[in-house]
Each structure stands twice: as structure tokens, then as C-alpha cells.
Chain A
């Protein structure tokens, strides 16, 4: 089984800040890594696939990077709508989610 370790679990930031979330895979997953945003009471929404490709309509302030076992999601110039919980997901055939990162307003 592939394990996904996501950090930090909580992140406090202000509007306008830049933040980075890290996701590490227990073995190489090439670039089969997606990032999702989830708001309270809602289903997750995919933001990025294949580690760095933005889903159509997702603002360019979201940036994904990485391959193999190390991945990051960077959000620049945080907007009020960005405060949510973020999950990484490996989708190599089976699937595993990271534990999630709650991005809070400082």
C-alpha cells in the first residue's frame, strides 16, 4: 500500500500571504498526484492533476510541483475564498489520500 504523508495538518495565514503544503509518498508515484479543496459541508473539488496541471477555471495562484515521492501545493496571494481544507491524492491505480491540511485565517 502507498502511504501519503501530508503536512502541516493546520496552517494559519492571512489574506495576501503565500503558503505551501507538502505531500510525501511512501514510494514513487511518478506524477500521479492530485490536489483537492474541500469546504465545510461540501464535496471536495479537484484543483490540480498530474502533480502540476491546473484544472480549467482554477486560479493561477495555485501551483503544484513535484514527482516521484515529493510534492507541494503553493497558494500565492491568498484570497478569502482559499481558506479551506486541502488534500493530496495519489491515483496510481489504487488511491490514497493525504491526511489533509486545514488552512485557517490568522
Chain B
């Protein structure tokens, strides 16, 4: 059984960088994609991007210029950085297993990140 545990700062000021990490416990870390998804309060899901264990990434074109997704296979962790945050980036951020032609089977607990001055 795969479990994902995510952590990072929950409150940012505008223009700061959002930084979250997701640790993977159980299961196989390689040969899979790993994804980030966000959900503004009361709204729908938005795919942010994904990373393969090889380091290849795909990102939402609307966020691509501000997003970095990285992976540390030795620690079984992957991370999200979103630069120049604004109030519009306030959302619950989820990490999940899957991506590419794989569904998002296992999810982290979600972290509410609030961007406010």
C-alpha cells in the first residue's frame, strides 16, 4: 500500500515562492509518474504537473513559467516550487501517484496554502 505524506509552508506573502515536498512510503518509487494537483477553496481540481522517476516533467502550460517540479529518488520524495505567488494561488495542494497514461491512484493528505499580505 502506497502512502503519500506532504509538507511545506501553509502561509505565504505575495511574490514569495511556494515550496512543498511529498514523501512516498511503501510501494515502488521508480517506473512511475508523480503529480501535483491543486484545488482553490470551493472550486474544482487543477492539474499542475508531473515528474517521472527519470526526471522528465510535464507541466500545465498556464503555470509552466513559474513551476519547478523535482525528484529525489534516494529519499523517495518529489517537490513543487511555484514562484511569484499571488492570492490566486491560494488552494489546497495535493501530491499524487500517477501521471502520463496512469491515473492518480494514491493522494497525499492535502495542504492548504494561503497567499496573503
Contact = CB atoms under 8 A, between A and B. Distances in A.
Given A94-B58, A95-B50, A96-B47, A43 B108 contact: yes
A83 interface: no
Contact of B110 (A1, A43, A99): A43
Interface residues of A, number: 22
B31 interface: no
Which range holds the interface residue count of chain B?
A: 20 to 34
Contact of B104 (A44, A92, A93, A98): A44
A89 B47 CA distance: 9
A36 B50 CA distance: 18
Interface of B: 35, 37, 44-47, 50, 58, 60-61, 94, 96, 98-105, 107-110
Interface of A: 1, 32, 34, 36, 38, 43-46, 49, 87, 89, 91-100
